[in-house]
Amino acid sequence: MTNVSGYFFAQLKRALKLAPAQFLADFLICVCAGVLVYLLVAQGAAEAGGTKYRIGMVGDLSDSYLGFGIAALQEMDDSRFMIELVGMPEEEAEDALARGELYAVMRVPDDLMEAVVSGENDSLITYTAAEGQRGLGTMVMGEITEIASTLVTSSQSAIFAMQRVLLDRGRGEELGRATDRLNLSLINLVLSRSGFGEVEILGYADGLSMELYYFCSAFLLFLLLSGLLNCAFFVRRSTALTQFLKARGVGASCQIAGEYLAYLCLVCMGLISLSLPVALLLERGMFGIPEWEGMGAYPFWGFLRTLLPVIFMFAALQFFLFEAAEGIVNGILLQFLCGIGMGYLAGYFYPAAFFPERMQTVGGILPAGAAARYVEEGLSGHARAASLVAVFAYFTLFFALAVLARKKRIGRE
């Protein structure tokens, strides 16, 4: 025991030497995260206040029907609160897209209206999204354009069918007036399409709001990747020292225990330096989480208490990964890939519910998933012993594996 505590204090001294640089890195992370959160909140507020996703419209928009359609979308449709259509020359639109001022550019072909009126629909409106590759944003945009397309083609079908019926019955002279009236009737119904359904909001019976979910995920991801922040602790580890310590009676488990506790202190210091500004912001009400509304920073301290077993487990995981990898270089790569991979599968970036069931199961089994489940259950007031046991089982496993890796290394050397 004396050996462990002596070795622990020596390691703690080493860890404390790294603290100033770590605080600086934490400060940088806080600044980055703070600016991002501020911008996202500002974007949300701006959207609520009328700022929208701007879509550049390129091509000949002089056709009266097309102009009417765009004006109707901008003046009467529900989409006007989210989307702003702006007509502009192609070059200007391309530049604005590259500068990030437009969400997408839509190119309207010259013969679009002829194609729509004839029902051929062979002239397609092409659009380019600002995302360089296919992603969630472009897929959502694909859905939106499909919806618009369905509304147009179904209306076309109804109008053409009515025209066919009139022509079949020899009432061709009524065609123009009947088409206009049916057109107006359909446009009117499209604009009031929200009347199809009656919306009932049930609220959160259990589970977390999206804000709290991402708040937890950000902290969990920080803890999961803190191995990268603290990698300096594992630089210049003397291989001769481990053998020397062994010869002096400090075995592999005592060495690991001493080093692990010092490393744990370093992780905790990182978390504290990140938590203080967050608590300050919460206390001043500068950002809100629905479940914690009006409670200041008080629930946040409870959240940090809930995180404690996870901190132990993640620190053990990182310690094991550095111990298992040959050298700091491999250790860093392993930390990054395991952190990002597990974080992604466990739903730290996209909510786990977005994933296929089998992927959710795999993500839930991983240490990052077990940690997320434990924290979510704790926050929603449905804590289960099984989740805590899973976290501690992982902690024990990683600690034991680290000891084994150290034993193997001492034996090999």
- Interaction residues for other proteins, span 338-357 (CB under 8 A): 340-341, 344-345, 349-350, 353-357
> Does the footprint of other proteins cover residue 113 (CB under 8 A)?
no
Q: Which of residues 79-98 bind other proteins (CB under 8 A)?
A: 98
Give the C-alpha separation, 196 to 410, whole Å. Answer: 72
Is residue 200 close enough to count as binding other proteins by CB under 8 A?
yes
Q: Which residues contact 196 (CB under 8 A, 6 or more apart)?
A: none
> Phi and psi of 115, rounded to 5°?
-65, -40
370-397: b or e for each residue (b if 16 or more CB lie within 10 Å)?
bbbbbbbbbbeeeeeeebeebbeebbee
Q: Judged by CB under 8 A, which of 50, 170, 195, 294 binds other proteins?
A: 195
Q: Tell me which stretch binds other proteins (CB under 8 A): 132-140, 248-256, 312-320, 404-412.
A: 132-140
Is 316 an interacting residue with respect to other proteins (CB under 8 A)? no
Sites for other proteins among residues 281-310 (CB under 8 A): none
Return the number of the residue (152 or 304) whose C-beta is nearest other proteins.
Answer: 152
Q: Of the two residues 112 and 254, which places its CB atom closer to other proteins in the complex? A: 112
Orientation angle between helical segments 385-412 and 367-379, nearest 10 degrees: 150
197 binds other proteins (CB under 8 A): yes
d(CA 391, CA 151): 51
- Provide, rounded to whole angstroms, the least separation between the CB of residue 150 and other proteins: 4
Stretch that binds other proteins, among 83-91, 227-235, 254-262, 300-308 (CB under 8 A): 227-235
Quote the least distance from Cβ 411 to other proteins, whole Å. Answer: 17
Minimum CB separation from other proteins for residue 395, in Å?
Answer: 22
Q: Tokens in use for 108?
A: 């309207």
Q: Which of 7, 11, 12, 155 binds other proteins (CB under 8 A)?
A: 155
Q: Which two tokens stand for residue 143?
A: 């859905």
The footprint of other proteins on residues 161-180 (CB under 8 A) is 161-166, 168-169, 171, 174, 178
Alpha-carbon span 31 to 231, nearest angstrom: 21
**Biggest alpha carbon–alpha carbon distance for the chain:** 108
Site string for other proteins, 319-338 (x = CB under 8 A): -----xxxxxxx-xxx-xx-
Position 318 contacts other proteins (CB under 8 A)? no
Sign of the alpha-carbon dihedral angle for 230, 232, 235, 236: negative
- The H-or-E segment that residue 59 falls in is strand 53-59
Distance CA 298, CA 281 (A): 12
Q: Does 267 bind other proteins (CB under 8 A)?
A: no
**Binding to other proteins by residue 220, rule CB under 8 A?**
no
Q: Which is nearer to other proteins, 165 or 386 (CB)?
A: 165
Token representation of residue 17? 């030497």
Closest CA to 253 of 323, 168, 185, 160: 323
279 binds other proteins (CB under 8 A): no
Q: Considering beta carbons, is residue 5 or 51 the nearer one to other proteins? A: 51
CA-to-CA separations, 42 to 179, 189, 318, 337, 350, in angstroms, rounded: 46, 35, 36, 32, 21
CB of 250 to other proteins, least distance (A): 25
4 or 334: CB nearest other proteins: 334
Q: Which residues on neighbouring strands pair with residue 54, listed in sequence order? A: 84
Question: Would you count residue 152 as binding other proteins (CB under 8 A)?
Answer: yes
**Nearest residue (CB) to other proteins, 2 versus 99:** 99
Q: Is 205 in the site for other proteins (CB under 8 A)?
A: yes
Joined together, the tokens standing for residue 275 give 């938590």
Residue 180's contacts (CB-CB under 8 Å, 6 or more residues apart) are none
Nearer to other proteins, 1 or 196 (CB): 196
- Asked if 412 touches other proteins (CB under 8 A), the answer is no
Q: Give the DSSP H or E segment for 108.
A: strand 104-108
Q: Which stretch binds other proteins (CB under 8 A): 15-23, 85-93, 389-397, 404-412?
A: 15-23
Q: How far apart are CA 302 and CA 49, in angstroms?
A: 34
